[in-house]
Amino acid sequence: MSGQTLFEKVWQDHIVVPESDANPAVLYIDLHLIHEVTTPQAFDVLRERGLPVRRPDLTLATMDHSTPTVPVPTLGDLDIVAEPAAAGQIRQMIDNCNEFGIALEGFESQHRGIVHVIGPELGATQPGKTMVCGDSHSSTHGAFGALAFGIGSTEVGHVLATQTLLQRRPKTMAINITGTLKPGVGAKDVVLALIGQIGVDGGVGHVMEYRGSVIRSLSMEQRMTICNMTIEGGARAGMIAPDDTTVQYLSGRPRVPQGADWDAAVARWLALPSDDDAHFDREVSLDVSKLAPQVTFGTNPGMVVPVTGHIPADTGDLSFRKALDYMGLEAGQAMIGTPVDVVFVGSCTNSRLSDLRETAAVLKGRKVSGQVRMLVVPGSQSIKQQAEAEGLDKIFTAAGAEWREAGCSMCLGMNGDVVPPGKLCVSTSNRNFEGRQGVGARTVLASPQTAAAAAIAGSIADPRELTNH
């Protein structure tokens, strides 16, 4: 009998009722992340049936999606800065959390921020946990060796009421990242190249495990960027085995076990990596030795080329043509030099302190092009504070960029931060779908460095020419 994968160990540890031909498994959920957009209908179901939230203590609540990124000093100010529907949704979140006894990281909290940023920051995200959220980028938390995946609002109700979910066991897929990254090429480039290779449906039905020496060399923030975009490759979840980097990141964070419990937890975590003889249903390899910074050219994250490359030739494919038509780009054209109107640095993919530092390193002593609007949105209020303590905000504003409060912001344009119709935005977010950043908005996905280089040039540019690489 072969050994177990990381996924199998975590899955097995959370089976309340085993799966059978007739029934899916009942899977226990250790941490439920909730936000204002995908929970109102779920709380309504509990209210209709007179059910309490089973484990408010295992529920982490915040406001991020439709939340303004301009200051909201008092709740009364909400109606001035937010659309009525968004303001109503935020108020309902506050009311629901009060009614059901859930602590909310709200406007007054230094921990408020994007749900996938604050979980790790607080140390609530831990190896070996099962975690869900009504948000597909829940896969982010897999960077710690948690099994974390997105669910819909009906399932949000299931977890609120029972702390469990009905689940069929997914298949496993090993992603072996080999080679050595060149300077100026990072985690975002790796994951974009991977999705380009396997396609946006390449992982459907699978949980991915990212493996290999490149993964081991990455920081937790970089690992989160990779796991975050797992869903863009169609997979249910992405995981990375915990190691010393994981333990060091978590050490001293507010919600990790303390004292003797910490030692026991670390021992348990370090036993989670896949056994040497574990079997994966599929294996994929990606050699990153020759990888250049990546940019998307189309309307899904799999339509990606090196920044120094050209859009592929027209094969007559309907979706390819529709994508280029939407983007206002031509088959075969070079990406460098494409005019840019907006640059967005933020989102659960790239809004952490290291992302802001990388952005600042490119912007320092330079000016954002006069034709570009640049928005920098930290992933959490705590990151905002740290960035300001380092003076990063001064670098952004001196360059001509806007510096905002934490939130999802222009990644999905729900809070009023939108890209105007027909305008092209180089964005550090995760989705370049039609209309994602606003009706008619055109999105090019890239790393923070590539986004910053585009802001300065006013067109798509190779960031390595602006840094020391």
Partner 1 sequence: MEKVTRIESATVVMPQTDIDTDQIMPARFLTTTTKEGLGDAAFSDWRYDDDGKPIPDFPLNRPGAAGSKVLVAGNNFGCGSSREHAPWGIVDFGFRAVISTQIADIFRNNSLKNGLVPVIVPDDVHAWLLANPGAKVTVDVASKTLTLPDGRSVEFPLDGFSQHCLLEGVDQLGYLQSQDAAIDQFEKARSWQP
C-alpha distances out from residue 420 to 261, 405, 436, Å? 51, 21, 11
Question: Alpha-carbon distance 449 to 467, whole Å?
Answer: 9
Report, in Å, the least distance between residue 459 CB and partner 1: 26
Report, in Å, the least distance between residue 428 CB and partner 1: 18
When the beta carbons of 319 and 397 are compared against partner 1, the nearer one is 319
CB 442 within 8 A of CB 326: yes
When the beta carbons of 211 and 236 are compared against partner 1, the nearer one is 236
Question: Alpha-carbon distance 67 to 89, whole Å?
Answer: 9
Q: Which stretch binds partner 1 (CB under 8 A): 155-163, 180-188, 210-218, 397-405?
A: 155-163
**150 touches partner 1 by CB under 8 A:** yes
Binding residue (CB under 8 A) for partner 1 from 1, 22, 313, 389: 22
Cα 252 from chain centre = 23
Q: How many residues bind partner 1 (CB under 8 A)?
A: 77
Considering only the C-alpha atoms of the chain, give the largest distance between any 2 of them, rounded to a whole number of Å.
64
Helices (H), 78-186: 78-81, 84-100, 115-122, 153-162
Report, in Å, the least distance between residue 430 CB and partner 1: 9
When the beta carbons of 75 and 292 are compared against partner 1, the nearer one is 75
Q: Which residues, numbered 351-410, are part of the site for partner 1 (CB under 8 A)?
A: none
Q: Which stretch binds partner 1 (CB under 8 A): 178-186, 216-224, 329-337, 431-439?
A: 431-439
Report, in Å, the least distance between residue 136 CB and partner 1: 4
φ, ψ dihedrals at 174, nearest 5°: -90, 130
Please, which residues bridge with residue 261 across strands? none
C-alpha distances out from residue 95 to 2, 44, 92, 363, 366, Å? 50, 12, 5, 41, 45
Binding residue (CB under 8 A) for partner 1 from 5, 38, 338, 447: 38
**163 touches partner 1 by CB under 8 A:** yes
Q: Which residues, numbered 269-298, are part of the site for partner 1 (CB under 8 A)?
A: none
**155 touches partner 1 by CB under 8 A:** yes
Binding flags for partner 1, 221-250, as an x/- string (CB under 8 A): ----------xx-x-x--------------
φ, ψ dihedrals at 103, nearest 5°: -70, 130
Binding residue (CB under 8 A) for partner 1 from 80, 103, 271, 439: 439
Report, in Å, the least distance between residue 92 CB and partner 1: 6
When the beta carbons of 17 and 330 are compared against partner 1, the nearer one is 17
Q: Which stretch binds partner 1 (CB under 8 A): 127-135, 182-190, 222-230, 363-371?
A: 127-135
Q: Which stretch binds partner 1 (CB under 8 A): 46-54, 306-314, 344-352, 380-388?
A: 46-54
Question: Alpha-carbon distance 286 to 172, whole Å?
Answer: 17
**166 touches partner 1 by CB under 8 A:** yes
When the beta carbons of 229 and 452 are compared against partner 1, the nearer one is 229
Q: Which stretch binds partner 1 (CB under 8 A): 156-164, 282-290, 331-339, 353-361?
A: 156-164
Binding residue (CB under 8 A) for partner 1 from 10, 31, 63, 444: 31
**16 touches partner 1 by CB under 8 A:** yes
Half-sphere exposure for 392 (CA within 13 Å, toward CB): 25
C-alpha distances out from residue 346 to 13, 107, 248, 282, Å? 35, 19, 25, 33
Please, which residues bridge with residue 209 across strands? 174, 239
Binding residue (CB under 8 A) for partner 1 from 414, 426, 457, 460: 414
Question: Alpha-carbon distance 370 to 388, whole Å?
Answer: 25
Taking Cα atoms as reference points, which of 227, 230, 269 lies closest to residue 251?
269
Taking Cα atoms as reference points, which of 256, 253, 203 lies closest to residue 226?
203
Report, in Å, the least distance between residue 297 CB and partner 1: 15
Query: Would you list the DSSP string of 184-243?
Result: T--HHHHHHHHHHHH-TTTTTTEEEEEESHHHHHS-HHHHHHHHHGGGGGT-SEEE----
Binding flags for partner 1, 77-116, as an x/- string (CB under 8 A): ------x-xx-xx--x------------------------
Sign of CA dihedral 402, 408, 412, 413: negative
Report, in Å, the least distance between residue 421 CB and partner 1: 8
Binding residue (CB under 8 A) for partner 1 from 68, 120, 157, 242: 157
Q: Which residues, numbered 252-271, are part of the site for partner 1 (CB under 8 A)?
A: 264-265, 268
Q: Which stretch binds partner 1 (CB under 8 A): 19-27, 172-180, 363-371, 392-400?
A: 19-27
Binding residue (CB under 8 A) for partner 1 from 75, 81, 94, 200: 200
Question: Alpha-carbon distance 362 to 395, whole Å?
Answer: 10
